[in-house]
Amino acid sequence: MITEFYISPKEFKGPLNLSLTFNSGQTSQPPWQKENKYFQELIMVEDKPCLVKIRHDDSNPENDVHIIAESLENVPEKSIKERIGEIFGLTDDLSQLYDFLGEDPKLAPTIDFCQGLRLFKAHDPFECIVSSISSSNCSILRWTRSIRDIKQKWGEKFRFSSGDFYTFPSPKILGDVPEHDLEEMQRCEDDLPEDYIFKNNLKACGVGYRAKYIINTSRIVESEMDMGKLAKIKYDKAFNTVLELPGVGPKVADCILLYGFGMGEAFPVDVWIKRIIEHLYFPHEELKPQEAREFGMKKFGDYAGYVQLYLFHYARKSGLLESLRKK
């Protein structure tokens, strides 16, 4: 079934730049696939698989967002629109954000570089957890490829008019996959060809040492963690809960809460954000990551997640990041 509709700029707050949002390295999930002029991805709407194609002329903020949704069952347009609004933060008031940024001379330059950049929220919080763990000390290209491999090997396949698409596997399924080729070999039959290549294990997806963290985290999420409850508790308690997961440090925990659960006060700090904060606010000091995190959360409040995103993109595009590399 095909559902086609438009979202007027009057229905969301402030500008929207889809390309910038998809390609800003946010760890909620890999960027949606580009086909012709549309970005597309399989998402679940009312627990039903729905292939969503989205297009927006980023050069003209007055243009509508065009949506084409293909589903195997009837899915109401209203529900699809609500999910898209959640994923792309269309209710986030970027005009107010820009007013906030403009009041700080150190943040004001980010506005021109980041017009329309929005938080890219996870359509599957568990996928966000695994994506965030996979992204630790890893390039964007590598971890996004790993997540796509995981989906194709263990996710559920659905066929649509434009091809096959996969859901992200459940915690139960991912918690039971072999960690490496030796474990896969031990589980296999004895009559395999001599040249058989063991590739149905997590390390074969390129996650490296993170494989054991992903498997153990999957088991904990399946047996002990209530994702719905986690989304409703206060930030500090949620942070400490997520921090107990294998392979999750403070930065990854903040990414999970920001992108997976919409907690905008999270301020993920890696080595680059720490250096950017030092450069802008503490030019003669060296901060610990925890100090940079506490500073960001206190100074930027509910906008902390957006400020972190804007600062990093600004640093990449303005040349600041390159200059900080040379120090």
Picking from 71, 41, 66, the residue whose alpha carbon sits closest to that of residue 54 is 66
- According to DSSP, the residues that pair with 53 across neighbouring strands are 40, 68
What is the CA 241 to chain-centroid distance, rounded? 19
184 vs 95: CA distance, rounded Å:
52
62 vs 14: CA distance, rounded Å:
10
CB contact at 8 A, 50 and 143: no
Report the chain's terminal Cα–Cα distance, integer Å.
Answer: 56
CB contact at 8 A, 19 and 122: no
DSSP state of 259: I
23 vs 181: CA distance, rounded Å:
33
Could you confirm whether 251 is annotated as catalytic? Answer: yes
8 vs 61: CA distance, rounded Å:
10
CA angle 40, 232, 257 (to 5 degrees): 55
Report phi then psi at 43, rounded to 5. -130, 165
User: Which candidate in 53, 81, 121, 251 is catalytic?
Assistant: 251
DSSP β-ladder status, 33-35 and 157-160: unpaired
Report phi then psi at 284, rounded to 5. -115, 15
The residues that are catalytic are 251
